[in-house]
Amino acid sequence: MTPAEISPGLVVSVATPDLKLSDFKLIAFDMDSTLINIECVDEIADAVGRKAEVAAITEASMRGDIADFKESLRRRVALLKGVSLSQMDEVYHQRLKLNPGAAELVHACKAVGMKVLLVSGGFTFFADRIRDELGIDYTRANVLEISDGRLTGKLVDQPWGDICDGEEKRKMLLETCGKLGINPLQAIAMGDGANDLPMMGVAGLSVAYRAKPRVREQAMVAINEGGLDRLLEVLK
């Protein structure tokens, strides 16, 4: 099917005859710039006067210009050394907001019995709070190492691996489907950056939200204007 703008800012590249939200059992969200309005790593860097430096790496990584997400994240996290937990709290309380329609879409998904997964190349410091705020069922994100109330500039290895990159997002989506006993084609994956493409590629429906060009081109649905809940215009 040729991509078609079914209403301003909403492009659909796949035939969805009578497709309903309740046809799906799981929705997986990226966090930064998808479920929430900021790239957390960039805003934390602002606390140590390194936002421009870190944001440039983030932008290149999300566009897909930097192939090795893990290396790009390690470089950015190293620049956060010395940031205090109170400065992190400030980012959460003063800069981080849910994107428009985020709560509404999560609520609509849960209302039809779907499970919700948050998979992030960002950090548990924020992902765990978003999980609690929205009642999200499963999360995977990176752990920042903290010593004496400050970031060390390193990440903490976890039982599943070192860094949640695109491949880990894909793996977590497939693992969660396995846990729920569902086919990945019964999952929706929603993101904005190149590291979301692996999980979007295995899901039954891929949705780009205000995404980088490469991601918009490959997604089945692209929301280019308005809120996340515009997905409900496609899935009744």
- CA trace torsion 65, 70, 72, 74 (10° rounding): 180
In whole angstroms, give the CA distance from residue 219 to residue 161.
28
List 18, 23, 32, 65, catalytic entry = 32
C-beta separation of 224 from 217 below 8 A: no
Beta strands in the chain (DSSP E): 4-7, 10-12, 26-29, 115-123, 138-147, 150-156, 187-191, 205-209, 221-223
C-beta separation of 106 from 133 below 8 A: no
- 30 flagged as catalytic: yes
- 137 flagged as catalytic: no
Distance of CA 171 to the CA centre of its chain: 14
- Dihedral pair phi/psi, residue 184, rounded to 5°: -55, -20
Burial code (b: 16+ CB inside 10 Å, e: under 16) for 177-214 equals beebebebebbbbbbbbbbbbbbbebbbbbbbbbbbeb
Amino acid at 195: N
List 18, 23, 30, 196, catalytic entry = 30
Q: Which residues are catalytic?
A: 30, 32
